[in-house]
Amino acid sequence: MSFSNAVAVAGVGETDYSRDSGRTELALSLQAIGAALDDAGIAAAEVDGLMKWFVDTSSEAEVAVNLGIPDLAWFGEINQAGNVGAPLVAHAAAAIHAGLANTIVIYRGVNGRSGRRYGRGDVTGQGGRGAGAFTEPFGLLTPQHGLAMSARRRMFETGVTSRQFGQQAVIQRKHANRNPRATFHDRPLTLEDHQESRLIVDPFHLFDCCLESDGGGALVLTRPELARERRLDRPLALIRAAAQSGPGQSSPVRRTAARLFAMGGVERSDIDVVQIYDHFGPFVLFALEDYGFVEDAGHFVEDGGTMWDSGKLPVNTSGGHLSEVYLQGMNHLIEGVRQARGESTSQVPNAQLSFVDTGIGTGAVILERSEA
Amino acid sequence: MSGWTFERPPALPLPQPSEESAPFWEALKERRLVVQRCAACGAISHPPRAKCGSCGAMEFVWQESEGRGEVHSYVITHQAVHPALRGYTPFATVEVALDEGVHITSNLIDTPPEQVAIGQRVQVEFLDVGEGVVLPVFRRRRGK
C-alpha cells in the first residue's frame, strides 16, 4: 500500500507566534487557514474536508461556517493528546487517495501560553483516576514527569549526557536565530546557558523543555493535479509515505519506522532533512537512534551532525518546539513542507526527501519534492 | 542524611480506584502489596488490566508481592510544575522494578532526593495517608 505520491501538501500557513495572542483560538485557526489557502492558491469554497487537533477548541462546524464551506464531505479528529499531526496527515491523505474528499485542511489554533498551559498539569492531570491512580499520588503529575523518568533511564543505559542534550538545544536555537517567525529569533543560546539553566524536572533543564505558545497553523492537502495547476512555477511537496503507531504501544518509533520506510520504499540514508517532535529536547536524540538514522545520537549531535548547513542530517531546522513555537507538531509539518519546496530559512541544499515525526513514534511522514 | 524525613505533599491526588484496580488498593489497607497474576498462564501485570497481555485470558488472581525490587529510574521535581508540589521541592519520584518483573511508581521514604540512585535495592513499606488510603512506598534495603 502506498500513496504513490497521489496527495500533495498544496499549502502551509501560520499565524504570528506569541505569549499572548489577544485573539480567540477560533480567530487563530481561521487566520492560519487563510494563510495556507492563499499559499495553495485554493479558495475556501473548494475545501471539502476539515481535520483538527483533538485537544483544540475550534470545531469543524464552526470553522466550516466561518469559511463558508458549502459541502463538507470529510471531517474528524484523533483522540489523543497533542501528538497527532502526522496521523492527521495520514488520515487525510488516505481519504483523498480513496476518493472520499478532494481538498482537506488540517488546522489548529491555540492559546497555549495565555490560556490553558500544558506544562501545569491542569490540562493533562487525571485527578488520581485511570492510569493516574498509579502515578499522580507519587508526584508524577505532568507529561514531563513521565518523560523525565524514561530519559533518566536512557541516560543510565546508553551513557548519553545532559551536555549532549544541550548541544541539540544550541543547534536548534541557531536554526531559530535564522527564522524570523521563531519565538527565540533574537536570543542566542550557548551550551553553558543550557547547562546553567535551572532544573525543572531533573534530568530536564529549562532549555530541554519546549516553549508554551499562542498561535495557529494549517496545511492544505489535495490532489497533485490541482496543486500543480495552482502552483505553476513552484515546487510541490508530495506525500511519499505516512505511518502511525497507536496509543499504549511499546517501541512506537520502531513500529512506525518499519511501516513508513517500507511504504516509502526508501532508506534512512535517502532522507535529506528531519523534523522531530521535541516536547523535550532529549527525545530528539532518542528518536534519531530509534528511527535508525544514527547509532549514537549523543556523539552525532556533539559533532554538529544536526546543523542545517554543515551537519550530515539536519534536524529541526526551524528551531522546533524548543526555540520556534510549541504547536505540537504542526510547526514541524510546516517546516518539513518548506524544506521539500526549498523555502526554509535554513534550507538544506537540494533536499528531496523531508522526514517529519510528530510525536516520538506516534506518527511520521516522508514528504517528497516535486519540481515545478 | 540523619534528620531527613519524607514528607508527602498533602495536595497530591489520592488514587481513585477503578473496578479493575480496587483489590490492589484494598489489599494495601491490610499492608499487603499485591500484583495481578493471570489465572491461565501465570503472567504478572501491574497496573491491573482487564485482559492478560500474554495469553488474552480475563481471569486473574491477586498474588502477594515480596515487595522487593530495585530503583529502575527516578525524577526529581525542582520547579513546582504542578501546584501540589509547591513548597515540597526538590521532590523525588521513583520507578521501582519489583523482583516479580513489573514496575511500580512510588517514593522512597528514607532517602533524600540527592541520594536516589538507579540500581538501589528497595523494600516496600506502607504509608497511611488518611481517608482510608494506604500507599505503597519504599525504603532502602541492604544486600539483595
Q: What is the pLDDT of residue A248?
A: 74
% of chain A surpassing 70 pLDDT: 98
Q: What is the pLDDT of residue A80?
A: 83
Q: What HEC string does chain B produce?
A: CCCCCCCCCCCCCCCCCCCCCHHHHHHHHCCCCEEEEECCCCCEECCCCCCCCCCCCCCEEEEECCCEEEEEEEEEECCCCCHHHCCCCCEEEEEEEECCCCEEEECECCCCHHHCCCCCEEEEEEEECCCCCEEEEEEECCCC
**A163 near B CB under 8 A:** no
pLDDT in tens, A145-159: 999 999 999 999 999
**A304 near B CB under 8 A:** no
- Among B78, B134, B138, B129, residue whose Cα is nearest residue B103: B138
Residue B1 has pLDDT above 60, yes or no: no
**Residues in B touching A148 (Cβ below 8 Å):** 75
Count other C-beta atoms under 10 Å from residue A157's C-beta.
10
Count other C-beta atoms under 10 Å from residue A211's C-beta.
22
Mutation pick from A120, A141, A208, A209 vs chain B, by most beta carbons of B within 10 Å, is A141
* Contacts for B47 with CB less than 8 Å, ≥ 6 apart: A131, A133, A134, B21, B24
Mutation pick from B70, B72, B93, B134 vs chain A, by most beta carbons of A within 10 Å, is B93
Residue A331 has pLDDT above 70, yes or no: yes
Is A141 in contact with B84 (Cβ distance < 8 A)? yes
Q: Which three cell numbers stand for residue A101?
A: 474528499
- A203 prior amide bond cis, ω within 30: yes
- Among A337, A320, A245, A309, residue whose Cα is nearest residue A276: A320
Closest-CA residue of chain A to B82: A120
Residue A315 has pLDDT above 90, yes or no: yes
Q: What is the pLDDT of residue A127?
A: 86
Q: Catalogue the active-site residues of A.
A: 277, 326
Closest-CA residue of chain B to A122: B82
The rounded mean pLDDT for chain A is 95
Q: What is the pLDDT of residue A79?
A: 87
* Contacts for A127 with CB less than 8 Å, ≥ 6 apart: A136, B13, B16
A272, A344 in Cβ contact below 8 A?
no
Q: What is the pLDDT of residue A124?
A: 67
Q: Which three cell numbers stand for residue A233?
A: 512555477
What average pLDDT score do residues A317-342 get?
A: 98
**Residues in B touching A120 (Cβ below 8 Å):** 81-83
State how far the Cα of A163 lies from the Cα of A73, in Å rounded to an integer.
50
Mutation pick from B18, B19, B77 vs chain A, by most beta carbons of A within 10 Å, is B77
Is residue A227 very low, low, confident or very high in pLDDT (cuts 50, 70, 90)? very high
Q: Chains A and B: how many Cβ contacts under 8 Å?
A: 112
Residue A123 has pLDDT above 70, yes or no: no
* Contacts for A323 with CB less than 8 Å, ≥ 6 apart: A169, A172, A173, A175, A176, A182, A183, A184, A189, A211
Closest-CA residue of chain A to B86: A139
Is A138 in contact with B106 (Cβ distance < 8 A)? yes
Is B135 in contact with A138 (Cβ distance < 8 A)? yes
Chain B: which residues have CB within 8 Å of chain A?
9, 12-18, 21, 25, 46-47, 72-79, 81-85, 90-93, 95, 104-107, 118, 135
List the single residue in B46, B93, B118 with the smallest CB-CB distance to A138.
Answer: B93
Mutation pick from B34, B79, B82 vs chain A, by most beta carbons of A within 10 Å, is B82
Cell numbers 519534492: residue: A369
Q: What is the pLDDT of residue B2?
A: 58
**Residues in B touching A133 (Cβ below 8 Å):** 15-18, 21, 25, 47
Is B73 in contact with A150 (Cβ distance < 8 A)? yes
pLDDT in tens, B22-67: 999 999 999 999 999 999 999 999 999 889 989 999 999 999 999 9
Residue A210 has pLDDT above 90, yes or no: yes
**A152 near B CB under 8 A:** yes
% of chain A surpassing 90 pLDDT: 89
Q: How far is CA B38 from CA A287, A348, B58, B59, B60, in A?
A: 34, 53, 8, 6, 5
Count other C-beta atoms under 10 Å from residue A272's C-beta.
17
List the single residue in A134, A136, A137 with the smallest CB-CB distance to B47.
Answer: A134
**Residues in B touching A152 (Cβ below 8 Å):** 73-75, 118
